[in-house]
Amino acid sequence: MSLDAAAKAGVLVEAIPYVRRFAGRVVVVKYGGNALAASTLPAEPEPASAATASPARRVVESDGVLGHFAEDVALLRAVGVLPVVVHGGGPQIGDLMTRLGKTPAFHEGLRVTDAETLDIARMVLVGKVNRDIVTALNVCGALAVGCSGEDAGFITAAERDPALGYVGDVVSVDPTLIEHLLQEGLVPVVATIGADAAGQAYNINADTVAGAIAEALSAEKLVFLTDVTGVRSDRDDPTSVLQSITADGLEDLVATGAVGDGMVPKARACAHAVRHGVRSAHVLDGRVPHSLLLELLTDEGIGTMVVEP
């Protein structure tokens, strides 16, 4: 339903105090692979005119979820907020592995990453997903630049578990590269591949990387856009989404199993971040149009906010 002029003006006025509060502040946004995967399945057939559109324009017009996300980030940058985008790509990696005839293997819920799988992950994350997000942001007017943790020694990684192969943990984050990009008015888009001191690359959980980057940048906010509506007090009850929760409360939900599976690294990253200088963390449904703006620039918000009391 469209808004009349007065209602539109009201929305803009409501955003003013939030724009003032967040202008000049870093907001780290983790755009989840599951949210991105949802955007690759358009609800309506692609119009015939799309075949003649430029590749960059097709990325946005044929991809509503990614297009809305790019518009949100572009607007935030235009009003002085400093967004840093960190993205996953697990579903996309699995899809390419299947197309190449390679069967994904998992150990304790994590993808076993041999040398060939690492090459696939780098191709998907750095060469495909990263480029799609950068292109969408540029089309919407936010000057974006893609990078990975391997660039300029940005993310130093170490092997997590020999049974997992080239899966890494974050050892340290040097924010110098990201700070320079932000100073130049650019939006960094980070693919979560890191390297150790010897140059060996590792695929790292994107939730963990987003939290580590937010901490290193002393971000105002850490936002996870995923395919759930927020943190639930009862994992099986969609109506039990919490509007806010403390870091301690969130860890209690993990300990009792109320938060499980793919939400665990997000929950741990949120709790760690707000205890280490990040003012608040948020878990939102990235499939909802303009969920990022609804959470940051409106009174009611959407999803779950995590704070340190």
Q: Walk me through the domains of the chain, giving residue ranges and CATH numbers.
A: 21-307 (3.40.1160.10)
Q: Assign 51 a pLDDT band (cuts: 50, 70, 90).
A: very low
Residue bearing tokens 């000057």: 143
pTM (predicted TM-score): 0.89
Which pair of tokens denotes residue 242? 């919490």
For residue 163, pLDDT beyond 80: yes
| Longest CA span, the chain | 60
How far apart are the C-alpha atoms of 259 and 272, rounded to whole Å? 16
How far apart are the C-alpha atoms of 233 and 289, rounded to whole Å? 24
Q: Position 52: which residue type?
A: T
* Sign of the dihedral defined by the CA atoms of residues 82, 61, 301, 243, in that order: negative
Cβ–Cβ under 8 Å, residues 178 and 217: yes
Which pair of tokens denotes residue 278? 């990040």
For residue 236, pLDDT beyond 90: no
Instruction: Taking residues 205-217, report their average pLDDT.
Output: 96
Q: Assign 261 a pLDDT band (cuts: 50, 70, 90).
A: confident
Q: What percent of the chain has pLDDT over 70?
A: 89
Q: Position 103: which residue type?
A: T
Q: Position 254: which residue type?
A: V
pLDDT at res. 1: 52
Averaged pLDDT score across all residues of the chain: 88
Q: How far, CA to CA in Å, does 262 sit from each of 172, 257, 269?
A: 23, 12, 12
